[in-house]
Structure 1
Amino acid sequence: MAVRSKHPVAAAPTAPVREKTAHLLLRAWCIVILFLSLSGVAWINAIGSIATGALIVATGVVSLILWLVMRPPVQWRRLPWFPVAYALWAGLSIAWSQWPGTSALTWALLLITAMQGFFVAAVLTWRELVRAIASALKWCLGLSLLFEFIVAAFIRQPLLPGFVIPDTPAADPIVYWCRGNLFNDGRIQGIYGSANPLAAVCLLAIIVFAIRLASRAPRRAFLIVWIVIAAFLMYRASSATIYLATLGVAVVLATVLLMRSAKRPGARTKWYVVFAVVGIGGALSIWLLRDRIFSALGRSSDLTGRETIWQSVLARTAQHPVVGNGFATPWIPTDPHFDGWIIDHGQTVMQAHNMWIDVSMQLGIVGVVLLGMLYLAYVWRAWFFAVDRPRWDLRDDRPYSAVTLLPTLVGALLLVQGLAESEPLLLWGWMFVVMLAFKIKQSPHVGMGRIEQRVAIERGELVPDAADEAQLDNRAHW
Structure 2
Amino acid sequence: MAVHTKHPIAAPPAAPPREKTRHLMLRAWCVFVLFQAFAGVAWVNAFGDFIAGSIAAVSAIISAVLWVSIRPPLNWRRLPWFPLGYVAWALTSVFWSSWLSTTALTWTLLACTTLQGLMVASMLGWKELIRAMAAALKWVISLSLLFELAVSVFINGPVLPGFVIPTTKLDPIVYWSRNNLFDGGRIQGIFGNANLLASVALTAMIVFALLFAAHTTRRVPLALWFSAATYAFVRADSATAYLSAIAVAVVLTTSLLMRTARRPGSRTKYYAAFAGLGALGIAAVWVWRDAIFTALGRSSTLTGRETIWQAVLDRAVEHPVVGWGFATPWLDSDPAFDGWIIDHGQSVMQAHNMWIDVFLQLGAVGLFIMVGIYFSVIWRAWFFAVDRPRWDLVDSRPFSPLTLLPILLMSMLLVQGLAESGPLLLWGWLSVVMLGFKIKQAPLIGVGPTGQTLAMERGDGLATLAKTQHT
Could you tell me the TM-score, scaled by structure 1's length?
0.96
In structure 2, distance between residues paired with 1:470 and 1:199: 44
- 1:444 counterpart SS class: coil
In structure 1, distance between residues paired with 2:401 and 2:338: 46
Structure 1 letter corresponding to 2:19: E
- 1:50 counterpart SS class: helix
Deviations, residues 162-196 of structure 1 (Å, cap 9, x unaligned): 001111221x0111000110001110000000000
Structure 2 letter corresponding to 1:329: T
Same amino acid, percent of matched pairs: 59
In structure 2, distance between residues paired with 1:65 and 1:160: 36
Q: 1:438 to 1:10 in 2, by over 3 A?
A: closer
State the partner residue of 2:121.
Answer: 121
- 1:206 counterpart SS class: helix
- 2:243 counterpart SS class: helix
Q: 1:8 to 1:236 in 2, by over 3 A?
A: same
State the partner residue of 1:362.
Answer: 361
Structure 1 letter corresponding to 2:444: H
In structure 1, distance between residues paired with 2:455 and 2:8: 29
State the partner residue of 2:468.
Answer: 472
In structure 2, distance between residues paired with 1:460 and 1:333: 53
Q: How does 1:79-228 map to 2 (within 5 A)?
A: 79-170=79-170, 172-228=171-227
Give the superposition deviation at 1:142.
0.2
State the partner residue of 2:35.
Answer: 35
Give the superposition deviation at 1:12.
2.5
In structure 1, distance between residues paired with 2:102 and 2:20: 43
State the partner residue of 2:230.
Answer: 231
- 1:380 counterpart SS class: helix
Structure 2 letter corresponding to 1:418: G
In structure 2, distance between residues paired with 1:271 and 1:115: 38
**Are the counterparts in 1 of residues 31 and 132 from structure 2 also a CA contact under 8 Å?**
yes
Q: How does 1:352-431 map to 2 (within 5 A)?
A: 352-431=351-430
In structure 1, distance between residues paired with 2:51 and 2:215: 40
In structure 2, distance between residues paired with 1:229 and 1:438: 30
Give the superposition deviation at 1:462.
1.7
In structure 2, distance between residues paired with 1:97 and 1:347: 24
In structure 2, distance between residues paired with 1:351 and 1:328: 9
- 2:320 counterpart SS class: coil
Q: 1:366 to 1:178 in 2, by over 3 A?
A: same
Could you tell me the TM-score, scaled by structure 2's length?
0.98
**Are the counterparts in 1 of residues 316 and 360 from structure 2 also a CA contact under 8 Å?**
yes
- 2:461 counterpart SS class: coil
State the partner residue of 2:59.
Answer: 59
Structure 2 letter corresponding to 1:235: V
In structure 1, distance between residues paired with 2:211 and 2:75: 28
- 2:389 counterpart SS class: coil
**Are the counterparts in 2 of residues 17 and 461 from structure 1 also a CA contact under 8 Å?**
no
Structure 2 letter corresponding to 1:269: T
In structure 2, distance between residues paired with 1:9 and 1:412: 52
In structure 2, distance between residues paired with 1:266 and 1:120: 37
Give the superposition deviation at 1:276.
0.2
In structure 1, distance between residues paired with 2:5 and 2:319: 84
In structure 1, distance between residues paired with 2:217 and 2:324: 50
**Are the counterparts in 2 of residues 148 and 180 from structure 1 also a CA contact under 8 Å?**
yes
**Are the counterparts in 1 of residues 392 and 470 from structure 2 also a CA contact under 8 Å?**
no
Structure 1 alignment gaps of length 5 or more? none
Deviations, residues 383-440 of structure 1 (Å, cap 9, x unaligned): 0000001112211111111111000000000000000000000000000000000000
**Are the counterparts in 2 of residues 122 and 451 from structure 1 also a CA contact under 8 Å?**
yes
Task: Confirm whether residue 296 of structure 1 aligns to residue 292 of structure 2.
Answer: no
Deviations, residues 106-134 of structure 1 (Å, cap 9, x unaligned): 11111110110000000100000110000
State the partner residue of 1:48.
Answer: 48
**Are the counterparts in 1 of residues 177 and 188 from structure 2 also a CA contact under 8 Å?**
yes
Structure 2 letter corresponding to 1:308: T
In structure 2, distance between residues paired with 1:20 and 1:142: 29
In structure 2, distance between residues paired with 1:151 and 1:29: 30
State the partner residue of 2:336.
Answer: 337
In structure 1, distance between residues paired with 2:120 and 2:392: 29
In structure 2, distance between residues paired with 1:13 and 1:234: 48
Alignment RMSD: 1.6
In structure 2, distance between residues paired with 1:470 and 1:94: 49
**Are the counterparts in 2 of residues 241 and 416 from structure 1 also a CA contact under 8 Å?**
yes
Structure 1 letter corresponding to 2:191: Y
**Are the counterparts in 2 of residues 449 and 473 from structure 1 also a CA contact under 8 Å?**
no
Structure 1 letter corresponding to 2:331: I
Deviations, residues 352-387 of structure 1 (Å, cap 9, x unaligned): 000000001000111111101110111100000000
In structure 2, distance between residues paired with 1:218 and 1:56: 31
In structure 2, distance between residues paired with 1:83 and 1:297: 35
In structure 1, distance between residues paired with 2:129 and 2:38: 14
In structure 2, distance between residues paired with 1:398 and 1:7: 35
In structure 2, distance between residues paired with 1:324 and 1:474: 47
- 1:265 counterpart SS class: coil
In structure 2, distance between residues paired with 1:394 and 1:12: 33
Give the superposition deviation at 1:469.
5.5
Structure 1 letter corresponding to 2:448: G
State the partner residue of 1:72.
Answer: 72
**Are the counterparts in 1 of residues 447 and 467 from structure 2 also a CA contact under 8 Å?**
no
Structure 2 letter corresponding to 1:85: G
Give the superposition deviation at 1:153.
1.1
Structure 1 letter corresponding to 2:123: V
**Are the counterparts in 1 of residues 323 and 359 from structure 2 also a CA contact under 8 Å?**
yes
**Are the counterparts in 1 of residues 205 and 230 from structure 2 also a CA contact under 8 Å?**
yes
In structure 1, distance between residues paired with 2:6 and 2:460: 27
Q: How does 1:243-322 map to 2 (within 5 A)?
A: 243-322=242-321
In structure 1, distance between residues paired with 2:155 and 2:96: 49
Structure 1 letter corresponding to 2:221: F
Structure 2 alignment gaps of length 5 or more? none
Give the superposition deviation at 1:4.
5.5
For these two proteins, the number of residue pairs brought into alignment is 471
Deviations, residues 78-106 of structure 1 (Å, cap 9, x unaligned): 11111111111111111100001111111
**Are the counterparts in 2 of residues 199 and 239 from structure 1 also a CA contact under 8 Å?**
yes
State the partner residue of 1:18.
Answer: 18
**Are the counterparts in 1 of residues 452 and 465 from structure 2 also a CA contact under 8 Å?**
no
**Are the counterparts in 1 of residues 290 and 299 from structure 2 also a CA contact under 8 Å?**
yes
**Are the counterparts in 2 of residues 450 and 473 from structure 1 also a CA contact under 8 Å?**
no
Give the superposition deviation at 1:474.
5.2
